[in-house]
Amino acid sequence: MATSKIPELTALACIFFIFLVPFAAAGLTLMNVGLGRSRSAGHMMMASLSALAVAAIAYFAIGFAWQGAIGGPAHVLSFSGKSWNWIAAEPFFFRKLSFDGSATSLTALLQMFSVGLAAVIPLGSGADRWRLRAICLSTAMLAALTYPLFAHWVWGGGWLAQLGINYGIGRGFLDAGGASTIQAVGGLTALAITWILGPRRGKYSADGMAPAIPGHNSVFVLFGCILALVGWIGLNSAGAILFTGGEPSGAALIAINTTLAASAAALTAAFITKVRFGKPDASLTSNGWIGGLVASSASCAFVSPAEAIVIGSIAGTVVTFSIEMLELRLEVDDPGGSISVHAVGAIWGLLALGMFGQFQRPVFNLAGDNLIGLTSGVASGQWLAQLIGVATLLGFVLPLTYVANLVLNRFYPYRVAVEGERQGMDLHELGAGAYPEFVTHTDEFLPR
Amino acid sequence: MKAVGILMLPAGWFLVLAAIVLFPNPALCGAFVLVGFAVEALGLGLTFRSHLIPREEKR
């Protein structure tokens, strides 16, 4: 969409869709609160609000300058005659950004919400043990460095988007709704955070048992799923318009695909848990729902409704088994299921675009300063472009976020003191519980 | 083991980058990208393994 103005109707539709995006963050926040313990519920809400605030300011101050927008100034390296656009060179603090309905100004708005959404994802993994100030530090780094760098490569005309133009690999790496830039980056950050924090006290006992620590409010969790659907429809629609040259008229297909993928994923997760445990599990079903939304993000504009159901069903299966494997086999204590839902679900969604993607209309991707409309049809080598994008997430984003958080953890320890964990994050960090009228329980998971 | 696992992730990614630059033939490029992906998977496995909790620290 470059830096030029876009038709007024398209801009209006885009603004409407962008305004829905905060619902996705609200939904994830409610889920994280519900899946955590009651004595840390207020802390989780406070942490989410802080993460959204820090992310918005860090992105405004630094992040957008490094992410940029399609067609904006950027640093380019040259390898064997091909240009590799690796980081944007916009001024800091949104300077020189004119708010005139241009695609760039809409991109900045969407990204400010999206980076907040990415920042909320790791909170579910660090629940009940991640300190508030450490959350703010980690979020600032995510919004100022990790997110903008990768988002530039995908959405800012960077080298991943250029793979098609430079090397004839499909249409370059494609991601309409942020499965990679938002979900996978957030999910891999969640993995790094759980590795650094370690499990909650009492989660893994010396006899090899891993007792389930149930969430405290399944109503929050399930309502969060419905809120998230609204946000995701906005996110996928706005992303498809701004980053793949879609028309507002395509929003109906995107909304249908998004809903079908989530529905298929939730039903699959409910079916699997019913077969395995005798009753459907609300927590895993809701994780399946979000996993379906995540998996739909990349391909929502490029697949048929029937294919969206297949993508969602596989997402529901993968997420359900991934949660179990991480918890029981790999000893990764992720109370919110963020790693499985957002990282694993997103990786599946990105690969699914390479497998199922059909391009009925020209799909825009960028090379240099020129917007290229590629021909419609099946993209040869699109699977390879998607695989390269996933390899970049695992080989660049994960080590970067892990090492950067490890360094921050050295200077300001992320994990709360033992006493804080016993007391609950609400009392220890905020001085008051979320439910003051309720009786405070002792920790039933610790040996007496 | 932790450091080796983490270092293998970018090592695999560099293989992927090298494949893009060095092999114009899509089949060869795809094969080398898969090799890079396999190195990353190995690194990820090592990193997961290095983060398993020692028995004496479980509580």
Q: pLDDT tens digits, residue range B6-53?
A: 999 999 999 999 999 999 898 999 999 999 999 999 999 999 999 998
A157: left (phi over 0), alpha (psi -120 to 50) or beta: left
Number of domains in chain B: 1
Residue B55 at interface with chain A, using a CB cutoff of 8 Å:
yes
Burial class (CB in 10 A: 0-12, 13-18, 19+), A205: middle
Kindly state whether residue B45 falls inside one of the protein's structural domains.
yes
* Interatomic CA distance for residues A339 and A190, integer angstroms: 6
Kindly state whether residue B21 falls inside one of the protein's structural domains.
yes
Angle at Cα A114 formed by Cα A35 and Cα A356, nearest 5°?
Answer: 90
**Eight-class DSSP state of A172:** B
> Burial letters for A309-338: b for 16+ Cβ neighbours within 10 Å, e otherwise?
bbbbbbbbbbbbebbeebbeeebbbbbbbb
CATH class of A8-430: mainly alpha
* Interatomic CA distance for residues B6 and A270, integer angstroms: 35
How far is residue A208 from each of residues A333, B7, B56, B58, measured CA to CA in Å? 14, 30, 11, 8
Kindly state whether residue B10 falls inside one of the protein's structural domains.
yes
By three-state DSSP, how is residue A439 classified? Answer: coil
Put simply, the answer to whether B56 touches A205 (Cβ < 8 Å) is no
Kindly state whether residue B59 falls inside one of the protein's structural domains.
no
User: Residue A444's pLDDT is what?
Assistant: 56
The length of chain B, given as a count of residues: 59
Residue B12 at interface with chain A, using a CB cutoff of 8 Å:
yes
**Eight-class DSSP state of A415:** B
For tokens 């003051």, the residue is A436
Q: Which residue of A has its CA nearest to B30?
A: A384
Beta-bridge partners for A148? none
* Interatomic CA distance for residues A232 and A314, integer angstroms: 19
Count contacts between A and B (CB, < 8 Å).
83
Kindly state whether residue B35 falls inside one of the protein's structural domains.
yes
Residue A80 at interface with chain B, using a CB cutoff of 8 Å:
yes
Residues 6+ apart with CB under 8 A from A109: A15, A18
Q: Quick count: other Cβ atoms within 10 Å of Cβ B18?
A: 14
Q: Which of B13, B24, B53 sits opposite A392 (nearest CB)?
A: B13
Residue B27 at interface with chain A, using a CB cutoff of 8 Å:
no
How far is residue A373 from each of residues A4, A49, A76, A164, A165, measured CA to CA in Å? 15, 40, 22, 11, 11
Task: Name the minimum distance, in Å, from the CA of B31 to any CA of chain A.
Answer: 10
- Yes or no: say if B44 and B2 are a contact pair by the CB < 8 Å rule: no
Proportion of chain B in helix, strand, coil states, percent, rounded to 5: 85, 0, 15
Q: Which two tokens stand for residue A423?
A: 């007391």
Asked whether the predicted pLDDT for residue B59 surpasses 70, the reply is no
Q: Whole-prediction pTM value?
A: 0.94
Distance of CA A293 to the CA centre of its chain: 10
Q: Which two tokens stand for residue A238?
A: 């706005």
By three-state DSSP, how is residue A78 classified? Answer: strand
- Say whether the ipTM exceeds 0.90: yes
Give the domain extent around B23: 2-52
Task: Name the minimum distance, in Å, from the CA of A325 to any CA of chain B.
Answer: 12
Task: Name the minimum distance, in Å, from the CA of B41 to any CA of chain A.
Answer: 9
User: Residue A363's pLDDT is what?
Assistant: 61
* Interface mutation vs chain A, best among B2, B13, B47, B52, most A CBs within 10 Å: B13
Kindly state whether residue B57 falls inside one of the protein's structural domains.
no
Kindly state whether residue B16 falls inside one of the protein's structural domains.
yes
The predicted-structure confidence for A338-362, as pLDDT tens digits, reads as follows 999 999 999 999 999 999 998 766 6
User: Residue A76's pLDDT is what?
Assistant: 93
* Interatomic CA distance for residues A154 and A172, integer angstroms: 9
* Interface mutation vs chain B, best among A388, A400, A421, most B CBs within 10 Å: A388
User: Residue A365's pLDDT is what?
Assistant: 57
- Which DSSP string corresponds to A101-148? SBHHHHHHHHHHHHHHHHHHHHHHHTTTTB-HHHHHHHHHHIIIIIHH
**Eight-class DSSP state of A94:** T
Q: Which residues of chain A have pLDDT under 70?
A: 1-4, 208, 360-379, 439-448
Comparing C-alpha atoms, which of A366, A368, A325, A320 is closest to residue A345? A320
